[in-house]
Amino acid sequence: MQQWALQFKCTHTSIDSLLKILHERGNHNLPKTARTLLGTKTVGQLRDISGGQYHYIGFESACNNLLTANQWLEKIRLVMIIDGLPISNSGSLSTYLWAILCKAFDIPNPDVFPVALCVTAAKPKDLSFLDEKLNEIKRLLINGFKFSSQTVPVELFQVVCAKAMCKGAKSFSGFYGCDKCETRGTYLHRNQKITFPEIKNPILLPMNPLGLKLTQNTISPPHHSLIFLTLT
């Protein structure tokens, strides 16, 4: 039954429902839950961070897997992804999974590795769940990653994230939603869109090396709601 469930990629909910029916019909030798049937293992320690449950895996595990499978790499160029999605919706008991993922830029069809996972009832109340990741990636960017007897340079090539949340900035659809400048947008009633028609000598926003509009000294109140994420 375990092989059948894995072969047809059955959800835990459907397996639980089937096991309940089988138990009611006298098959008491079967497990009662999908977790027991599939032998799902719980690995790692959960912590309460940012209003949710958090588990950190780390970049080093991903770098080690990358170099083990691709020993020709002379430099690890990472693409980091930060985003969330709803995993259940039951009225006021919605649950969201916020994931920090990474992959190598230079490898065709690269595997995507989890760095950290955070489960919350809504958007995280702050971005403390990113702190551990930032500290580790800063260390890798400076010192590189030690693999066997060599040190392999690490470069953060690209960050793909839920920008407004990670920057503590206004959404792209807001009047101050431009990522690059201080221009206030204009609302077009006919198209129901915000546009930024002013293109002559706009006042540019200060940017940090990752392109994230941050730090207490460079905050622009119309553009920022909260200061969350910085590598400086």
User: In the chain, where are the structural domains located?
Assistant: 2-38, 43-161, 164-232
Rounded CA separation 22/49 (Å) = 39
Rounded CA separation 161/144 (Å) = 23
Yes or no: say if 195 and 174 are a contact pair by the CB < 8 Å rule: no
User: What pLDDT, in 10s, does the model give residues 66-94?
Assistant: 888 888 888 889 898 888 888 877 666 67
Yes or no: say if 167 and 212 are a contact pair by the CB < 8 Å rule: yes
- Average of per-residue pLDDT across 185-214: 68
Mention every residue, 6+ apart, whose C-beta is less than 8 A from residue 71: none
Q: What is the pLDDT of residue 93?
A: 67
Task: Flag the least confident range among 43-57, 92-106, 209-223.
Answer: 209-223
What residue has token string 């895996």? 57
Evaluate if residue 208 carries a pLDDT over 50: no
User: What one-character DSSP code corresponds to residue 129?
Assistant: G
Residue 161: name the closest of 231, 70, 65 by CA. Answer: 231
Evaluate if residue 143 carries a pLDDT over 90: yes
Q: What is the pLDDT of residue 162?
A: 74
Evaluate if residue 100 carries a pLDDT over 70: yes
Evaluate if residue 204 carries a pLDDT over 80: no
Cα-only R_g, the chain: 23
47-49 and 193-195 beta bridge pairing: unpaired
Yes or no: say if 64 and 140 are a contact pair by the CB < 8 Å rule: no
